[in-house]
Structure 1
Amino acid sequence: MAQTCAWCESEKVTSSKNSVFWELPDGSRAIEIRQTPSITCHSCEMEYQTENTVKVIEDQLFLINTNAVGNEISYEDLMAQPRLLKRNYFDFSSYPGQE
Structure 2
Amino acid sequence: ATDVIIKIVALSVDPVDYKILTGDFPDKHPAPRGWGSDIAGVVDSVGAGVTRFKAGDEVYADAIRHSPMAEFACVPEELVSLKPKDMFFNEAATIPLAGLTALQ
Q: Scaled by the length of structure 2, what TM-score is found? A: 0.29
Q: Which of 1 and 2 has higher RCO (CA within 8 Å, sep 6+)?
A: 2
Report the TM-score, using the length of structure 1 for normalisation: 0.30
Larger radius of gyration: 1
